[in-house]
């Protein structure tokens, strides 16, 4: 998913995004960098979409997406670079199609 894709509105079927990560762990470094770089553009393009960040010590980095009818999908982000996290995030959003 390109940076431009993150600045566009996400699918209407997407109801919530949750990002779980460790605030200090090396395995979550890519997820933290992705969040620092992309949170603001995502929220500017999707102001009404709940985008929740859950930080907890030792938590593996994962992203969850909740779609219409309670369908929930997730991707593992632990140990990935920021660019790889962005790709996985794109795959997660594409799951709504």
pLDDT tens digits, one per residue of 32-76: 999 999 999 999 999 999 999 999 999 999 999 999 999 999 999
**Among the listed ranges 6-15, 63-72, 85-94, which one has the minimum average pLDDT value?**
6-15
Half-sphere exposure for 52 (CA within 13 Å, toward CB): 11
Q: How confident is the model at residue 11 (pLDDT cuts 50, 70, 90)?
A: confident
| Domain residue limits at 35 | 3-94
CATH number at residue 44: 3.40.30.10
- Residue pair 21/12 in contact (Cβ under 8 Å)? The answer is no
> How many structural domains are present in the chain?
1
Count of Cβ atoms closer than 10 Å to residue 89 Cβ? 23
The model scores a pTM over 0.75 = yes
């Amino acid at each position: 998913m390109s940076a431009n894709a993150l600045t566009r509105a996400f699918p209407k079927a997407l109801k919530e995004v949750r990002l779980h990560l460790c605030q200090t762990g090396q395995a979550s470094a890519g997820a933290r960098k992705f969040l620092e770089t992309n949170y603001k553009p995502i929220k500017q393009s999707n102001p009404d979409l709940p985008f929740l960040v859950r930080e907890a010590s030792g938590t593996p980095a994962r992203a969850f997406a909740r779609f219409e009818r309670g369908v929930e999908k997730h991707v593992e982000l632990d140990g990935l670079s920021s660019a790889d996290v962005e790709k996985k995030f794109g795959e997660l959003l594409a799951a709504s199609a």
